[in-house]
Amino acid sequence: MLTVLKANLANKIASSLELPVEAIESGLETPKNKEFGQLAFPVFRYSKDKKMPPPKLAEQWAKVISELSVEEIDSVSSVSGFVNFQIKSSVLQNSVSDHLLARPNDFAEGVIGKGQKVIVDLSSPNVAKPMSIGHLRATVIGQAVVNLCRAQGFEVTALNHLGDWGTQFGKLAWAYQNWAAEYDFDKEPFESLFALYVRFHKEAEDNPELEKAGAETFKKLEDGDEEIVKLWKWFVEVSLEKYDEQFALLNVKHDKVLGESFYNDKLAPTVELLKQKGLLVESDGAMVVEMDDEKMPPCLITKSDGASLYATRDIASAMYRHEHLNGDRMLYVVGVEQTLHFRQVFEVLKKMGFSWVEESQHISFGMYRFKNMEKMSSRKGNVIRFADVIEKAISMVKEIIEQKNPELEDKDKVAKQVGVGAIVFNDLVNDRVKNVDFDWDQVLDFEGNSGPFVQYSNVRCLSLLRKAGVSEQDSVGFKAELTSFEERELMRLLLSFDQVLFDAYQHYKPHVLSSYLLDLCRQFSSFYSKQRILDAPEDEKASRLALARAVNMVLEKGLGILNIEAPAQM
Ligand code: ARG
């Protein structure tokens, strides 16, 4: 959108400045002070060549460009080494019409991903354990990354690498066989499973015999013992049912669930291949791939009893993702604490000669920090649960609605949309690599940097259109030229949306989009409070409603990419 304008402008002024068109096109940026215009061109790098101090050069170039009377430009000015362009309102408006209003279904989308497939590993919880806040992040960030990739034209497979294998399932099966009668599995199957898990680990602290019994039961599971396999399958089923409820709450959908156990029959061939390639070294009976040169500890492939490890399964899984799911690019949305694990896995794949591993990336993220609550281990049973946080958000929003807007229709539905949106937005508003300081006041601040604020801004756009009698099907268009600073700035922001989506995609950083949406909402507020809209003269009113519609379109699409719903009223 703005990129088209930049290209246009560059074409028209390049020869007079004796610069290549591309240099201008790529040099054009957003002015530091938005009052100066919508585009700025810094001249510093040319100052030496042209033997002129930057302010002087900018002044000269501004004069040269003014004399060209380029039809898109209202005025050109120079400020301390920058040439600033005020673009004609009519040009900005036409751009908003052509690129946004006229293309409700695919505006701002990119095509660079066409014909390529991305596999995104997201959520990936562990059977019989409640999803933690870490899994909430892996789910929320993961789904946003999925959506950002899709918006660039990539085909995406959202994959749940379910933690459904390991000695803990022997322990759980043993606990079930011995203690199940003490729990109410009919009423609370998932909670009961987790209770067994916690109890086993607690009792095993004082009774090492339990560890042995658990290991033996796991051996039975590995050997295909009918009864234990049946139990294990049921553990997985009960857990998936629970997770699906929570994914549904977040509107998250995996295209595939391939648990760690899916790779069981692929592990021996993987280990064999590692051996053939001469990468395996024995170390105290275990098999490892050494990583001294990479200054990393060795990557453990099989334990001394022959059992495989988390890394082994990830190696087999990566090969499967490339060979059978046809992934051109593999992304893993997993917490920062697994950085070493992924570096090792990628390094092993590289040593195996798989060049596609260059396209793999660990999309890591920081932790939540709740006031007075440290990160806790699920073995002890006192995790902060994903579902609890969301439920609390929904009930708090419900209270706010009861106070502020008790007449609202569909209160429960809206409370859910806003409560969930608040949690998701709060997660996505900061750079994912940073820790999140979780503060309820901020999460639910309807006027702050929050999801509810963005949703509410959208509701304001919709209510403006409704009050003006414009329905969703009605087309809107610009009639009068809107020349105020607030309006031009609003248009500049609207026309930057495609670039924002691209930037957010490029670094897999949803916060680039979230911060942009906040800027857009703030600019909309300033427009809304300074300009007459419904009681403006007809043509101006039409143009302002067109702006409101464009803002509504961008907010809805932006929220959609963050996987947040946009209620029509709240
Ligand atoms: N189940 C793991 C955990 O909860 C996350 C799995 C991430 N994906 C992977 N391919 N290793 O920590």
The answer to whether the CB of 163 is under 6 A from ligand 1 is yes
| pLDDT above 60 (res 403) | yes
Q: Rounded distance, CA 566 to CA 570, Å?
A: 10
Per domain, the residue ranges of the chain are 2-87, 167-249
What pLDDT score was predicted for residue 387?
82
- 445: its two tokens: 């601040």
- Ligand 1 pocket check for 516: Cβ under 6 Å: no
pLDDT of residue 510: 98
Predicted confidence band of residue 374 (pLDDT cuts 50, 70, 90): very low
Pull the structure tokens for residue 496: 């930057």
Specify the DSSP class assigned to residue 303: -
pLDDT score of 490 more than 60 = yes
Pocket probe for ligand 1: among 168, 338, 349, 363, the residue whose CB has the most ligand atoms within 8 Å is 338
| Residue bearing the CA closest to ligand 1, atom 12 | 125
Distance from Cα 488 to the centre of ligand 1, integer Å: 47
| Percent of residues, the chain, with pLDDT higher than 90 | 90
Determine if ligand 1 sits within 6 Å of the CB of residue 152. Answer: no
Residue type (1 letter), 156 = V
Phi, psi of 232 (to 5 degrees): -60, -45
Structure tokens at 528: 């809304």
3-state secondary structure of 467: helix
- CA of residue 161 to ligand 1 center, whole Å: 6
Query: Distances in Å between the alpha carbon of 491 and those of 37, 90, 457, 463, 474?
Result: 11, 11, 16, 20, 21
Ligand 1 centroid – CA 561 distance (Å):
24
Question: What CATH class is the domain 2-87?
Answer: alpha beta
Q: In ligand 1, which atom is closest to the CA atom of 317?
A: 10
Does 93 score more than 60 pLDDT?
Answer: yes
Mean pLDDT on 302-308: 86
Residue 376 has pLDDT above 80, yes or no: no
Q: What per-residue confidence (pLDDT) applies to 437?
A: 84
Q: What is the pLDDT of residue 438?
A: 84
Q: Is 32 in a helix, a strand, or coil?
A: coil
Instruction: State the DSSP H helix or E strand holding residue 326, giving kind and residue range, or none if neither.
Output: none
382: pLDDT strictly greater than 70:
no
- DSSP characters over 75-133: EEEEETTEEEEEEPHHHHHHHHIIIIIT-TTTTT---TTTT-EEEEE----BTTS--BH
Strands 368-370 and 360-363: unpaired
Q: What is the pLDDT of residues 311-367, one digit of tens each?
A: 999 999 999 999 999 999 999 999 999 999 999 999 999 999 999 999 999 999 999
For residue range 234-281, what is the model confidence (pLDDT) as tens digits? 999 999 999 999 999 999 999 999 999 999 999 999 999 999 999 999
334 in ligand 1 pocket by Cβ < 6 Å? yes
**Burial class for 45, CB neighbours closer than 10 Å (0-12, 13-18, 19+):** exposed
Of the residues 135, 157, 160, 161, which should be mutated to test ligand 1's pocket, given the most ligand atoms within 8 Å of the CB?
161
Q: What is the pLDDT of residues 146-205, one digit of tens each?
A: 999 999 999 999 999 999 999 999 999 999 999 999 999 999 999 999 999 999 999 999
